[in-house]
A = this chain, B = another copy of it.
Amino acid sequence: MIQNIDQSSLFPIINPKSIAFFGASNRFTSMGTNQLSSLEALGFEGNVYPIHPKEKRVLGLEAYQSVQDLPEIPDLAVMVLPSGIVPPVMEECGRKGIKHAIVVSGGFNEVGGEGVELEKKLIAVAEQYGICFLGPNCLGVVNPHHKFNMTFLPFEGRAGFIGLASQSGSLITQMFGYLDRFGLGFSSGISVGNEANVDIVDCMEYLAVCPHTKVIALYIESIRRGRAFIELARSIVPSKPIVAFYAGGSEAGKQASFSHTGAMAGPDSLYDGVFRQCSIIRADSITELFDFCWVLGSCIRPQDNRVIVQTHSGGPGAAAADACSRNGLELPQFSENTLEKLATLVPHTGSVNNPVDLTFSKNPMDYFADIPDALLEETAANGLLIYILTPGQIIRRTMESMEIPPDQIPKLTEKLFNDQADSLAALTQNHQKPIIGFTFQSHKNMFIQKLIEHGLPVFPSPERAARAMSALVIYNQTLNDH
**Chain A: residues with CB nearer than 8 A to chain B?**
26-29, 31, 34, 37, 83, 106-107, 110-111, 137, 153-154, 156, 166-171, 174-175, 177-178, 181, 219, 221, 245, 247-253, 255-257, 259-261, 284-287, 309, 313-319, 321-326, 329-331, 348-349, 351, 353-355, 357, 359-360, 389, 391, 393-394, 397-398, 400-401, 440-442, 460-463
Contacts and interface: CB of A to CB of B under 8 A. Distances in A.
Given A168-B314, A285-B463, A314-B261, A255 B348 contact: no
Given A174-B440, A287-B461, A315-B166, A27 B255 contact: no
Contacts of A441: 174, 177-178
Contact of A259 (B284, B351, B460): B351
Given A248-B322, A251-B325, A253-B322, A315 B397 contact: no
Contact of A169 (B166, B252, B315): B315
Contacts of A353: 255-256, 259
A331 B324 CA distance: 33
Nearest to A399: B28
A217 to B, nearest CB: 12
A95 B247 CA distance: 66
Contacts of A111: 348-349
B397 A28 contact: yes
11 contacts: A28-B397, A37-B397, A174-B389, A252-B321, A252-B325, A255-B321, A256-B357, A260-B351, A285-B462, A286-B440, A287-B463
Identical chains in the assembly = 2
A322 B249 contact: yes
A174 B315 CA distance: 10
Nearest to A440: B178
Contacts of A26: 401
A107 B259 contact: no
B349 A250 contact: no
Nearest to A391: B153
A86 to B, nearest CB: 12
A260 B318 contact: yes
Contact of A318 (B168, B461, B463): B168
Given A250-B325, A252-B331, A259-B355, A285 B319 contact: yes
Given A287-B463, A389-B174, A252 B324 contact: yes
Contacts of A287: 460-461, 463
Given A170-B389, A174-B441, A247-B318, 10 more contacts: A106-B359, A153-B391, A174-B316, A174-B389, A177-B441, A247-B322, A250-B321, A251-B325, A256-B318, A256-B322
Given A440-B174, A441-B178, A168 B316 contact: yes
Contacts of A178: 440-442
Contact of A170 (B248, B256, B315): B315
A164 B447 CA distance: 28
Contact of A314 (B107, B170, B393, B400): B170
A221 B171 contact: no
Contacts of A27: 401
Nearest to A351: B259
Nearest to A288: B463
Nearest to A332: B252
A314 B247 CA distance: 11
Given A34-B394, A170-B313, A313-B168, A248 B318 contact: yes
A348 B324 CA distance: 47
Contact of A316 (B31, B171, B248, B391): B171
A405 B463 CA distance: 48
A26, A319, A401 — most chain B CB neighbours (10 Å): A319
A200 to B, nearest CB: 13
A28 B398 contact: yes
Contacts of A28: 394, 397-398, 400-401
A253 B168 contact: no
Contact of A348 (B107, B253, B330): B107
B318 A221 contact: yes
A412 to B, nearest CB: 15
The 8 closest A-B CB pairs, nearest first, are: A168-B315, A253-B322, A250-B325, A170-B313, A260-B314, A106-B349, A259-B351, A252-B325
Given A28-B401, A285-B463, A401-B27, A325 B253 contact: yes
